[in-house]
A and B are shown apart, each in its own frame.
Chain A
Amino acid sequence: MVTIEINGQQVEAEQGQMLIEAADKAGIGIPRFCYHKNLSISASCRMCLVEVEKAAKPMPACATPVADGMVVNTQSTYALAAQKSVMEFLLINHPLDCPVCDQGGECDLQEFSIGYGSDKSRYAEIKRVVKDKNIGPLIATELTRCIHCTRCVRFGQEIAGMPELGATGRADWMEIGTYIEKSIDSELSANIIDLCPVGALTSKVSRFTYRVWELASNDSIGAHDCIGSNCNVQTKNGEIKRVIARENDAINDAWISDRDRYSFEGLQSDERLTRPLIKKDGEWKEASWDDALQFAVNGLKDIKDKHQIGSVCFPSVTTEEMYLLQKIMRGIGSNNIDHRLRQSDFSGQDQDPLFLGLAMSVAHISQQQAVLIIGSNVRKEQPIMGHQLRQASLKGAKISFVNSVSFDSNFKAAHEFTIAPAQMFKELKVLAKAALESSVQDAPEGLAALVASVKVADEHKQCIAELSTAENSVVMLGTIIQAMPNYSAMRMLASFIAAATSSTMSYLTPGANTSGAYLSGLLPHRTHISNNAFSHTDGLNTQTMFAENLKGYILYGIEAERDLDNPLQAKTALANADFVVSLSAYVTDAMQADSDVILPIAAITESSGTLINVDGTWQSFNAVSKANGLSKPGWKVLRVLGNLFNLDGFEYQSSEDVINELKSSANQTVTNKTNNQLSWVCPEKISAQTTGMQRIAELSIYNVDAVTRRAAALQQTQDAQVDFAGINSALAKKLKLEDAQIVTAKQGDNSTEVTIRIDDRITDNCVYLPAGNIAAASLGGGFDTIELRPAYTHDL
């Protein structure tokens, strides 16, 4: 620690710290534009020039390291003269269009010009005009307003890892742009709107629809991935106008994904359900809440064998809703309840930890020296996790992937093992063998025999050595492997690899609240957590519920054709059921075809609640926007359903009552400390599937949930263009298919037409056909075999 003096005040600072950081910590404000604590130092705006004793010139506070005994004045005539001259220079070419500028009211330039600007301009020349650029559907440019702070450029280089923007040209005709006009495609791109200190980069989605002082600011949580990014949702008259990042260094630093930022657009979709609907004599009618709830309860009560009722719930709803839903189901006598919508292998479920988590904080991922990621397009699946991994990589971490597609990465992968899903078990055997050979521990029972026949290559050895030698390392299971057949066996091997290399075993999970679902007992095989434990129950999982054609279903936040692993199997089961209750924020024709009653529940921002993220952090939030029409927060609807079923313990007055009940029984010490290591049970030998082509189904970034699918701007991005079947050029040659050709994709008895995209990142003999997209709705399981053949053409 060193002591410096700023404006006569003694300030303690850390060695190597920059003056501006020390001043910020001491609450001494120094004006700045280019400096941002999460970006590298540019020292180019010169607004933070201050007087430093014995320095020949005014010094930029952002780039001047503190030294013991340094005497600094940020307010002296000398310092002010420098700051004021910089302000004048910045303003001479800046259009004074604050009245029509979206940044007005939250503009750094506007704010500092009050303190450092002059009310009269001495600049009598023609101002610079810069042509705006179209950089895609999310971000609007007004480059005449740009003050060249280069925060957006540095963000692309340092955080997004995609240097999409740069400064071209010199002098006062230097411009920010993409050089050749193109869209900004990073999944974190719109953070540059938050970063831009002026109105040069604004939101294309919401600009011109508010003034910032009209907005109510509400702290909230991103609900589209398992990270739980902190954000601020801003509303005007109860309607969401925008979402911006809220700093949390333990989770998302100062960034949020574009998905968390723009999904709210989906709340204003025409498909929002505004009133309860009931189907009487095959006709859909609007109904009052009382009638609809009674109708729903009666329908379910008619099913005498309660084991014939099953419920599936979307894993992004609040913990309160999950807890109440399982409480109702268990109250009426059924354990058929699940949130694992895309999982197909449940055989290892009894080995699941208390919840599937990272076993460390999200931010701690950036401190790892080696990571092995299995079955995840992590960057698109969990953009902020991608960011943390990239930060680790920039510090030298060796990050390797086992995937079926060599997904684009914004850092250099140490090793990539790209193999078909059916070969993944074998690949993990190879890695396990390498781990076994490098470990001093004895082989667990049966492993040596299991891996006897596989050959270890140097690359596998290197990958394992990197994990073993790293002080902090992680073996991370993504959502793709969790949806694969043989998941349990593969997980066992992954767990062994983690144990043998002293790595932490981590999960990335689907939805925003898988942790909440585990802890609240939204599972067929266990109750909610109580004192760090749970009781075993017996019930049907998602797969068996639909395979066994139950008499009644409760679908909670589910669009069957988009949200389930095997949509057609589910559709058949729903069509054959006696009674189906849907609780949903949206209504579609498909949903009407499946259901007997549809109850409108509030979307996540319209209800108070709690999400538990992948590191086990419980994050509660308030309702921030008006519920649409007559829709009600889910916990309230479930509470009344509980009452109508005459169940005990449904006397909650608020969502806090609900979460407090779970919290008090949960004993929150589980947070972060969950141990994901499995106890060894040797997997059976699995013969790799050899006939036919295998489908690879990733849930693509903007298809993850009902809200995101309806967010118009996100759906226009490059990442959203996933209605295709990807194959590599070798397979295309073999099948005699061409890029952009329309083919029929067939799984079992189901088929659909789809466009071919040739993409050599995809492994051999596999068809990448993302889950959740339109084509997938007419197909079967995500990793089942698939056929492709040219579609019938009408050429005469």
Chain B
Amino acid sequence: MANEVCFRTLHLDEPWTLESYLSVGGYQSLKKILTEKIPAEDIIEQVKTSALRGRGGAGFPTGLKWSFMPRHSEGQKYIVCNSDEGEPGTCKDRDILRYNPHQLIEGMAIAGYCIGADTGYNYIRGEFWEPYSRFDNALKEAREAGYLGDKLFGSDFNFDAHSHLGGGAYICGEETALLESIEGKKGQPRFKPPFPAGFGLYGKPTTINNTETLASIPVIVEKGAQWFLEHGKPNNGGTKLFSVSGNLKRPGNYEIDMGTPFSELLEMCGGMKDGYKLKAVIPGGSSSPVIPGEQMMDVTMDYDSIQAAGSMLGSGAVIILDDNVCMVNALARLSHFYQEESCGQCTPCREGTGWISHIMHRIEHGYGKQEDIDLLDKVAGDIMGRTICALGEAASMPVKGFLKDYRDEFQYHIDHKKCMVGPGSK
């Protein structure tokens, strides 16, 4: 079944309004928790049972993350929603903000209840004007209707949320760079430890969750952890939004059960456009290693299966590469992106992403040298594991992945100064 969790209002007219959300049972989970005084520990336990894992890309178990918070400690704590959604290929959180913002607000409130925070921030990607205003309107509606504010549903629980529009930097999707950005500083990741659960926004204990993760919470509470888990498979609970792009008949966002075979997802998208063949898939956003198409046909869409295939489910951005795509050209484009988006703070990423991009630019334009392929592999390896945040890995993994399965195309480019396939091969 599709569209049962984050997209459950999608079939309605103006699905983003409070009225629409209430019609599908909106804010009932929060009400139930607060009126029945369900202990936070029980909710966290439910989230753990549901096997909900972080939908932003890292796939960290959400319940476990919440349990790290010193919820009984005195003082301010925060829940922060990460709607920065910068990973190339990903466009799912945008649609949650556009079509079901109230469910996210309810999810944030429940999360706030669980971790002991009375304030939430939603950090929204700088380019998301429409989603931002939709979400902001939803906040206003929720506040006016009493779903945000003091003593919600007559309980002792106070919660309010605010939106914050980013400045347009990919790195601000990294949770600590995001915190810096909210604080009004340059978006640069912090080194860890300390982790945000101890020292987060304004130095206070903070949990940061992805939009889709938080928007899934009200449904888990409403329908039960088991229901959610059964929609996926063990350790890979629930449904997941996949943003499928490429030369497909019906590219777009699909909310499907975790563990659905890739081939079925491809079918939902209507298959490849006429005249195009599946060549390869980047299964989890541009930083996940590429997987050859034929291998992908045996993979199911869940964390463990894609990891077994040598890549990552990541943010669920499934980028379909067809037989006209020159892998050198594709990697050159990606490498340029990571060079531009490196925050410049730590040495391996600042210098390494630029270096990779320069080499790729040369190969792409016919100035490649024989030793470049090994050098690319070495430079990517030298970045990995040595940086403050994961952008270093994000920039290196595609290089490693492309070279692993498509080294011949790079060699061809260097030898013949043109593409092996696609328009550039003529």
Return B176 CB to nearest CB of chain A, in Å: 12
Q: In chain A, what residue has the closest Cβ to B358?
A: A125
CB interface residues, B 334-352, toward A, < 8 Å: 339-348, 350-352
Q: Which of B47-55, B277-285, B308-316, B383-391 contacts A (4 or more CB under 8 A)?
A: B383-391
Q: In chain A, what residue has the closest Cβ to B340?
A: A171
| Residues of A contacting B: mostly | loop
A-facing mask of B183-220, CB < 8 A → 1, else 0?
00010000101000000000000000000000000000
Counting CB contacts under 8 A, is A652 at the interface? no
* Cβ A46 vs Cβ B347 within 8 A: yes
Counting CB contacts under 8 A, is A386 at the interface? no
Q: Which of B344, B347, B355 contacts A123 (CB under 8 A)?
A: B355
CB interface residues, A 151-183, toward B, < 8 Å: 166-167, 169-174
Counting CB contacts under 8 A, is A90 at the interface? yes
* Cβ A88 vs Cβ B382 within 8 A: yes
Counting CB contacts under 8 A, is B375 at the interface? yes
Counting CB contacts under 8 A, is A43 at the interface? yes
* Cβ A125 vs Cβ B355 within 8 A: yes
**A125–B386 Cα gap in the complex (Å)?**
23
* Cβ B191 vs Cβ A90 within 8 A: no
CB interface residues, A 44-96, toward B, < 8 Å: 44-47, 49, 56-58, 60, 63, 65, 82, 85-86, 88-90, 92-93
* Cβ A58 vs Cβ B354 within 8 A: no
**A167–B350 Cα gap in the complex (Å)?**
13
* Cβ A57 vs Cβ B386 within 8 A: yes
Q: With A89-B347, A169-B344, A171-B340 in contact, is A46–B191 under 8 Å at CB?
A: no
Counting CB contacts under 8 A, is A148 at the interface? yes
Q: With A65-B193, A89-B348 in contact, is A170–B386 under 8 Å at CB?
A: no
Return B355 CB to nearest CB of chain A, in Å: 6
* Cβ A90 vs Cβ B347 within 8 A: yes
**A123–B346 Cα gap in the complex (Å)?**
19
B-facing mask of A365-392, CB < 8 A → 1, else 0?
0000000000000000000000000000
* Cβ A170 vs Cβ B348 within 8 A: no
Counting CB contacts under 8 A, is A794 at the interface? no
**A47–B346 Cα gap in the complex (Å)?**
10
Counting CB contacts under 8 A, is B411 at the interface? no
**A86–B383 Cα gap in the complex (Å)?**
9
Contacts of A44 in B (CB 8 A): 191, 345-347, 388
Contacts of A92 in B (CB 8 A): 351, 355
Q: Which of A88, A126, A171 contacts B341 (CB under 8 A)?
A: A171
**A172–B355 Cα gap in the complex (Å)?**
9
Contacts of A56 in B (CB 8 A): 385
**A128–B369 Cα gap in the complex (Å)?**
21
**A128–B357 Cα gap in the complex (Å)?**
14
Contacts of A126 in B (CB 8 A): 358
Counting CB contacts under 8 A, is B359 at the interface? yes
Contacts of A43 in B (CB 8 A): 191, 346, 388
Counting CB contacts under 8 A, is A41 at the interface? yes
**A287–B388 Cα gap in the complex (Å)?**
70
Counting CB contacts under 8 A, is B353 at the interface? yes
Counting CB contacts under 8 A, is A37 at the interface? no
* Cβ B385 vs Cβ A58 within 8 A: yes
Contacts of A148 in B (CB 8 A): 344-345, 347, 350
Counting CB contacts under 8 A, is B169 at the interface? yes
Interface residues on B, range: 20 to 34
A-facing mask of B362-378, CB < 8 A → 1, else 0?
10000001000001000
Return A96 CB to nearest CB of chain B, in Å: 15
**A156–B343 Cα gap in the complex (Å)?**
21
Q: In chain B, what residue has the closest Cβ to A43?
A: B191
Contacts of A169 in B (CB 8 A): 344
Return A77 CB to nearest CB of chain B, in Å: 14
Return A59 CB to nearest CB of chain B, in Å: 10
B-facing mask of A466-481, CB < 8 A → 1, else 0?
0000000000000000
* Cβ B342 vs Cβ A170 within 8 A: yes
* Cβ B358 vs Cβ A170 within 8 A: no
Contacts of A85 in B (CB 8 A): 348, 382, 386
* Cβ A82 vs Cβ B350 within 8 A: no
**A85–B375 Cα gap in the complex (Å)?**
12
Q: In chain A, what residue has the closest Cβ to B387?
A: A46
Q: Which of B344, B369, B385 contacts A174 (CB under 8 A)?
A: B344
**A58–B383 Cα gap in the complex (Å)?**
12
Contacts of A736 in B (CB 8 A): none
* Cβ B386 vs Cβ A46 within 8 A: yes
Q: Which of A49, A147, A171 contacts B386 (CB under 8 A)?
A: A49
* Cβ A171 vs Cβ B348 within 8 A: no
* Cβ B347 vs Cβ A57 within 8 A: no
* Cβ B344 vs Cβ A46 within 8 A: no
Return B371 CB to nearest CB of chain A, in Å: 8
Contacts of B369 in A (CB 8 A): 124
* Cβ B385 vs Cβ A86 within 8 A: no
* Cβ A167 vs Cβ B186 within 8 A: yes
* Cβ A90 vs Cβ B375 within 8 A: no
Counting CB contacts under 8 A, is A304 at the interface? no
Contacts of B347 in A (CB 8 A): 44-47, 86, 89-90, 147-148
Q: With A171-B344, A174-B344 in contact, is A89–B352 under 8 Å at CB?
A: yes
Return A498 CB to nearest CB of chain B, in Å: 35
* Cβ A172 vs Cβ B191 within 8 A: no
**A41–B190 Cα gap in the complex (Å)?**
10
CB interface residues, A 100-150, toward B, < 8 Å: 122-126, 128, 147-148
Q: Which of B191, B342, B362 contacts A63 (CB under 8 A)?
A: B191
**A125–B375 Cα gap in the complex (Å)?**
13
Contacts of B388 in A (CB 8 A): 43-44, 46
* Cβ A45 vs Cβ B344 within 8 A: no
Return A350 CB to nearest CB of chain B, in Å: 53
**A628–B348 Cα gap in the complex (Å)?**
52
* Cβ A172 vs Cβ B351 within 8 A: yes
* Cβ A46 vs Cβ B348 within 8 A: yes
**A58–B348 Cα gap in the complex (Å)?**
13
Q: Which of B191, B353, B359 contacts A171 (CB under 8 A)?
A: B353
* Cβ A46 vs Cβ B346 within 8 A: yes
* Cβ A172 vs Cβ B342 within 8 A: yes
* Cβ B344 vs Cβ A167 within 8 A: yes
Contacts of A49 in B (CB 8 A): 386
Return A16 CB to nearest CB of chain B, in Å: 11
* Cβ A171 vs Cβ B343 within 8 A: yes
**A43–B388 Cα gap in the complex (Å)?**
8
**A89–B384 Cα gap in the complex (Å)?**
13
* Cβ A171 vs Cβ B354 within 8 A: yes
**A436–B396 Cα gap in the complex (Å)?**
70
Return B190 CB to nearest CB of chain A, in Å: 9
* Cβ A60 vs Cβ B191 within 8 A: yes
**A173–B341 Cα gap in the complex (Å)?**
11
**A43–B369 Cα gap in the complex (Å)?**
35
* Cβ B350 vs Cβ A172 within 8 A: yes
Contacts of A171 in B (CB 8 A): 339-344, 350, 353-354
**A235–B343 Cα gap in the complex (Å)?**
42
Contacts of B359 in A (CB 8 A): 125
Q: In chain B, what residue has the closest Cβ to A171?
A: B342
Q: Tell which of B193, B345, B382 has the most Cβ of chain A within 10 Å.
A: B345
Q: In chain A, what residue has the closest Cβ to B359?
A: A125
A-facing mask of B164-188, CB < 8 A → 1, else 0?
0000010100000000000000100
Contacts of A57 in B (CB 8 A): 385-386
Q: Which 6 A-B pairs have the closest CB atoms?
A: A174-B344, A85-B382, A89-B351, A172-B354, A43-B191, A125-B358
Given contacts A58-B385, A89-B351, A171-B342, 18 further A-B contacts (CB under 8 A): A44-B347, A44-B388, A46-B388, A58-B386, A60-B191, A85-B382, A86-B348, A89-B352, A89-B382, A93-B354, A170-B169, A170-B171, A171-B354, A172-B344, A172-B353, A173-B344, A174-B343, A174-B344
A-B contact pairs, 26 of them (CB 8 A): A43-B388, A44-B388, A46-B388, A49-B386, A57-B385, A58-B386, A82-B386, A85-B386, A86-B347, A86-B348, A86-B386, A89-B348, A89-B350, A90-B351, A123-B355, A126-B358, A148-B344, A148-B350, A170-B169, A170-B171, A170-B344, A171-B344, A171-B353, A172-B342, A172-B354, A174-B344
